[in-house]
């Protein structure tokens, strides 16, 4: 989508951090913006800021862990702007800790927001984008933790790996319909994700409180010292206009992924030399289609 002027964007987690920065970038490109967030106070402040920038904006309270809430937000967005072309499934939370120490609610919360929130946003908005037939674009926020595993952050990492995989599949499915899909994989960005428990839904119970305070503080400082989120927003606009699948914002982290890729390639080489597999006649089909 090269021309964004006059089109509308929907952004979850839009009241702060990367979400708000994407909204600023979309507004600067001439788009109308619907911010969605679970925190109504922050949402009101963010919408006011966009309007002060002469951006046509509105806000809707949305709990991305609730399918019905996301569907209502989609309907309100279409009612406000008529059509939606860009959907950013951006809302995310962070949870982690030593193996065996995490509460079940930590896993449930992280998967519900980071993974299922992306599913609900995609499924809620896809019919609306298909209905106008003008194409569109989904941006799903993952993380570099969706490319490399971080010990101690398994719930977060699992959810972000899933977002990468889903986005890759959806990109292939939707390309023939002129609907693009990008997966955003930032490194450390100056956001409030270290405070994400402030919006934790009651049904998931209280967060684990036995984490090492020194490690918690170290993680906080990494985030607070991270990249300016407005640079991420600008990078997202570039990627949408260029039709990029993977959106990276921290090129200096490339060696970490290269090391992972090298280890995986070496594992395939060991499989090729494995006595247990020697002489096997099975060959994987050159073309795999699950459905037409």
Q: Are strands 179-185 and 32-37 parallel, antiparallel or unpaired?
A: unpaired
Correct CATH for 8-258 of 1.10.3720.10, 3.40.50.10610, 3.40.50.720, 1.20.1420.20? 3.40.50.720
Name the residue ranges covered by the structural domains of the chain: 8-258
C-alpha span between 159 and 52 (Å, rounded): 35
Q: Which two tokens mark 224?
A: 């607070």
The tokens for 171 are: 């990109």
Average pLDDT over residues 28-57: 97
Cα–Cα dist 102/26, whole Å: 38
178 dihedral zone (left: phi>0; alpha: psi -120 to 50; beta) = left
Cα–Cα distance for residue pair 116/150, rounded to 1 Å: 21
Whether the predicted pLDDT of 222 surpasses 80: no
117 or 199, which is more confident: 117
Cβ-contact 186, 92 below 8 angstroms:
no
> Does the pLDDT at position 166 exceed 60?
yes
Question: How does the average pLDDT of the chain come out, rounded?
Answer: 93
Strand, helix or coil for residue 86: strand
Provide the pLDDT for residue 9.
98
Q: Tell me, what's the pLDDT at 122?
A: 98
Degrees to nearest 5, angle at CA 111 with 127 and 212? 150
Q: How far apart are CA 184 and CA 73, in angstroms?
A: 22
- Contact at 8 Å (CB) between 3 and 135? no
Give me the residues paired with residue 248 across strands: 185
CB atoms within 10 A of CB 130: 14
Residue 1: the pLDDT is 82
Whether residue 246 lies in the annotated active site: no
Reported as a single tens digit per residue, the pLDDT across 255-278 is 999 999 999 999 999 999 999 999
Of 150 and 139, the one with more pLDDT: 139
Residues 81 and 8 sit within 8 Å (Cβ to Cβ): yes
Residue 292: pLDDT over 60: no
* Angle, helices 40-52/17-28, rounded to nearest 10 degrees: 20
Q: What is the pLDDT of residue 218?
A: 74
**Spatial contact of 138 and 122, defined as CB atoms under 8 Å apart:** yes
> Which pLDDT does position 274 carry in this prediction?
97
User: What pLDDT is attached to residue 200?
Assistant: 87
pLDDT at 58 over 60: yes
Question: Phi/psi at 10 (nearest 5 deg)?
Answer: -120, 130
**What pLDDT sits at residue 210?**
62
Catalytic residue among 156, 161, 246, 282: 156
The string of pLDDT tens digits covering residues 4-30 is 999 999 999 999 999 999 999 999 999
């Amino acid at each position: 989508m090269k021309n964004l002027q006059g089109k509308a964007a929907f952004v979850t987690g839009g009241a702060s951090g990367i979400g708000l920065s994407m909204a600023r970038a979309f507004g600067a490109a001439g788009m109308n913006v619907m911010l969605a967030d679970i925190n109504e106070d922050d949402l009101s402040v963010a919408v006011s800021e966009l309007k002060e920038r002469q951006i046509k904006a509105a806000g809707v309270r949305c709990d991305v862990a609730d399918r019905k809430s996301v569907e209502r937000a989609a309907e309100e967005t279409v009612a406000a702007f008529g059509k939606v072309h860009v959907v950013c499934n951006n809302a995310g939370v962070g949870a982690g800790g030593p193996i065996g120490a995490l509460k079940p609610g930590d896993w449930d919360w992280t998967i519900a927001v980071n993974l299922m929130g992306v599913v609900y946003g995609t499924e809620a908005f896809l019919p609306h984008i298909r209905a106008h037939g003008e194409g569109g674009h989904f941006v799903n926020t993952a993380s570099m933790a969706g490319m490399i595993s971080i010990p101690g952050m398994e719930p977060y990492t699992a959810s972000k790996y899933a977002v990468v995989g889903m986005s890759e599949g959806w990109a292939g499915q939707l390309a023939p319909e002129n609907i693009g899909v990008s997966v955003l994989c930032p490194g450390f960005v100056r956001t409030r994700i270290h405070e994400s428990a402030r919006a934790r839904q009651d049904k998931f119970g209280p967060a684990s409180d036995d984490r090492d305070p020194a490690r918690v503080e170290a993680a906080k400082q990494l985030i607070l010292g991270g990249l300016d989120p407005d640079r991420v927003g600008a990078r997202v606009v570039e990627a949408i206009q260029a039709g990029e699948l993977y959106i990276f914002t921290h090129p200096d982290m490339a060696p970490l992924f290269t090391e992972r890729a090298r280890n995986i390639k070496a594992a395939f080489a060991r499989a090729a030399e494995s006595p247990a597999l020697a002489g096997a006649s099975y060959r994987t089909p050159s073309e795999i289609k699950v459905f037409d």
